[in-house]
Amino acid sequence: MAQSLLVAVVVPAVLFYGVFALAGVWTAIGAALAWSYGAIGWRVVTRRRASGLLWLTAILLSGRTALSLVADSAWLYFLQPVITDGVVALLFALSLASARPMVARLAGDFYPMDHELAMRPRVRRLFWHLTALWAGLGLAKASATLWLLQSQSLETFVLVKSILMLVVNVLAAVLTVALAAYVARQEGLFAHCGETLEAAPEPAAETVPAS
């Protein structure tokens, strides 16, 4: 899970600000987009599955970049996350009324999840609470981004947003992992993994023919 968040969220944000400080906004936009598709391409070449979060990031960045280029407006590029965060937060919130909250649908990207495990009461409560957490976070991010965009210069906006959103996303990811680990311990999943490793047969020793 941590690796998926690092590749799909943290690295593009850090890369964007670094390139923005050195080469300007349009180069930074291109660099973030290139990273996302480069990460997907690398996983395809190495025959590894790209996470749904990585695909979602690439698609959203593509849409933002295309609209900004057509309108020739960097301001529009930064406005779109406000709309995106708001829509995603709404989808997460609406999914709370369904049998499978949004986090339950994405959980397979981060942990091998079969039907029996997903239907355990503690796991279902975890999915519901994490979905509510990320819905509230998305709404808060959208509101904060809109306020910053309207009240600050572009340079100040990019600096503050890059640091603030990175810190918020990392803290939310840490909280998500901590809650998931707590439930996993309650469900005995860590112990089960240890038993599986202990039960794995050792490779047979190679027989050396007598001389």
The pLDDT of residue 79 is 86
* pLDDT band with cut points at 50, 70 and 90 for residue 140: very high
The pLDDT of residue 192 is 52
CA–CA separation, 140 and 3 (whole Å): 24
**What's the chain's average pLDDT?**
80
- What would the two tokens of residue 145 be? 């981004």
* pLDDT surpassing 50 at residue 92: yes
Q: Give the whole-number percent of the chain exceeding pLDDT 90.
A: 11
The pLDDT of residue 3 is 67
* pLDDT surpassing 70 at residue 191: no
Q: What is the mean pLDDT of residues 193-206?
A: 47
The pLDDT of residue 47 is 83
